[in-house]
Structure 1
């Protein structure tokens, strides 16, 4: 594609074989660059190519391969005790965190609320190191059949925390419409003609997969594509939708954005927010808790679809 060609979101959706809604989400998350001409949104062909390269784990065409992604660089200048002139860093990849951040920005326009789109284990490590203030996790422990508590205990020693529920979500397989490879169970990933696309190490989906493989005695080397990784549920679903993989693991909400995907439900997961206990009485965190319990926020999340909010805002554990 020539560099001087630009496209509308609808045209980009056709090129990438995804929904128009997904294109706007990619733009909002900063994964796909765009600009405005008046009230119209345009995406240049070079930025489409850049997004495709990043989805494949390749370096951007105009950047050296060793350049780290800004989203994963350590955040400087933010502590776990933010004042009005500091920022508050929220880690996690779900769209409901973008909505939560928007609500906080309305109440505290003087505060810089930053979003980092990183996986569960990286988020907990960022909280431990003081690079984040609130992080999400959906890490299943097969020994206890519990979510998040065992990992928080191990990764945040000496840091008392609250684990607060956001939502419950369904994890499962993304497959092409009609499920032509008939993939319905974890064991089906070992079928010789099934190409899998994995999530990055440290993500909740990757932990769930590896725990299930351990329980079933399945060797990762017997899964074609196990070593191929993507950084988000959206990128995994997009790869399956484009026919570059036969199956991937992710949440149901993302599958709803693709017209040519089916979703095979496998495991209901708990998606929690983790904060330090000392922070809960601070103004920003009290506001956050109030937002989680507010009818307006809950109704907006319900309207998105794909989430169980029955325990939203409840403290699941004190560690």
Structure 2
């Protein structure tokens, strides 16, 4: 996901009781200036220019606050949906570390959007960017110095373990720390009521069903391929194996529309889409991967301290669906 860059006008004093600057609004709403600009750009918060200065009426800010007074569950649902919809827009974007002041955090979970926003609030001399790339490709990009930090949720069927084996294989000779973000439930997305009784991996071979798959390189695709291997199932036995979508949200929506009968994804997304049921299969571990050599730089220390902060933990908890028992812990060194 690409960050929106807008130059802030100077000053944080109010021109009048009714006209506020972006800084004033940011202080009132406890958000960043860039977030204020993004709200105005999206039309969620009315704004206008006085010369080159952005101004927002106090009444409009109060209306915005009142409109946000929705239930916690709906608010969390909107956060997830907005993140997933934005991913649809930027799926094909390719980012590269061309500027030494760029930091690119790669991965596809909304937790990373929250993390990036927390970092942006604390630094003003570098750009904090997001790359919407699956785990396998993210590790490849980290090895090739195209990104700064990778997220990963790759299950290895031979060790029955997440992430460590893949990091060792894909970053040979590179010492890395694997730092936990969360644990999530993954499982089948099925048509409401599960009419085809899809409950285990071998059920994917039923001739009367068709699946919607994830793209190569995503953690879920690798989980599927490993499970098929261990269960001696060939991809030719799975109807719809070659039908790919670029996010859990896209898979879930496809099942809800009847384009397929089963997909695989995490429980959080299943809870945001009507018309499907979620059949849990296993708990996956979702981690950050940071090169040991990078932790001497302040920005990487800031990323680590942010993940370990109570403020970040509380915001992730508010999203629901994450087990944060090991958040911020270094689980392995490769």
TM-score by length of 1: 0.77
Shift of residue 20 of structure 1? 6.2
Q: Secondary structure at the match of 1:280?
A: helix
Shift of residue 25 of structure 1? 3.2
TM-score by length of 2: 0.74
In structure 1, what is the equivalent of residue 295 of structure 2? 280
Structure-1 separation of matches of 2:188 and 2:290: 30
Aligned equivalent of 1:266, options 281, 291, 315 = 281
Once the two structures are superposed, what CA deviation does each residue of 1:58-107 show, in whole Å capped at 9, x if it has no partner? xxxxxxxxxxx642x251404xxx4xxx1100000000100000000000
Structure-1 separation of matches of 2:79 and 2:217: 28
Aligned equivalent of 1:125, options 140, 143, 147 = 140
Once the two structures are superposed, what CA deviation does each residue of 1:246-280 show, in whole Å capped at 9, x if it has no partner? 11000111111112221000011111100110112
Once the two structures are superposed, what CA deviation does each residue of 1:186-236 show, in whole Å capped at 9, x if it has no partner? 111111111101111111101111111111111110110001111111111
Structure-2 separation of matches of 1:23 and 1:204: 20
Q: How does 1:77-96 map to 2 (within 5 A)?
A: 77-78=98-99, 82=100, 86-96=101-111
Cα 1:22–1:278 change in 2 (3 A) is: closer
Structure-2 separation of matches of 1:269 and 1:22: 19
Which of the pair has more CA radius of gyration?
A: 2
Cα 1:306–1:76 change in 2 (3 A) is: same
Q: Is the 8 A contact 2:81 2:272 kept in 1?
A: no
1:292 aligns with 2:307: yes
Shift of residue 32 of structure 1? 4.8
Q: How does 1:205-220 map to 2 (within 5 A)?
A: 205-220=220-235
Q: Secondary structure at the match of 2:287?
A: strand
Structure-1 separation of matches of 2:166 and 2:289: 11
Aligned equivalent of 1:98, options 113, 116, 120 = 113
Once the two structures are superposed, what CA deviation does each residue of 1:91-146 show, in whole Å capped at 9, x if it has no partner? 00000100000000000022101101111110000000000110011111111111
Cα 1:74–1:111 change in 2 (3 A) is: closer
Shift of residue 316 of structure 1? 0.8
Structure-2 separation of matches of 1:142 and 1:26: 28
In structure 1, what is the equivalent of residue 8 of structure 2? none
In structure 1, what is the equivalent of residue 82 of structure 2? 24
Superposition CA RMSD, Å = 1.9
Q: How does 1:1-319 map to 2 (within 5 A)?
A: 24-27=82-85, 29=86, 31-32=88-89, 70-71=92-93, 73-78=94-99, 82=100, 86-319=101-334
Cα 1:204–1:215 change in 2 (3 A) is: same
Q: Is the 8 A contact 1:163 1:316 kept in 2?
A: yes
Q: Secondary structure at the match of 1:268?
A: strand
Structure-2 separation of matches of 1:267 and 1:20: 26
Structure 1, unmatched stretches of 5+, are 1-7, 10-18, 34-68
Q: Is the 8 A contact 2:88 2:246 kept in 1?
A: no
Q: Is the 8 A contact 1:21 1:257 kept in 2?
A: no
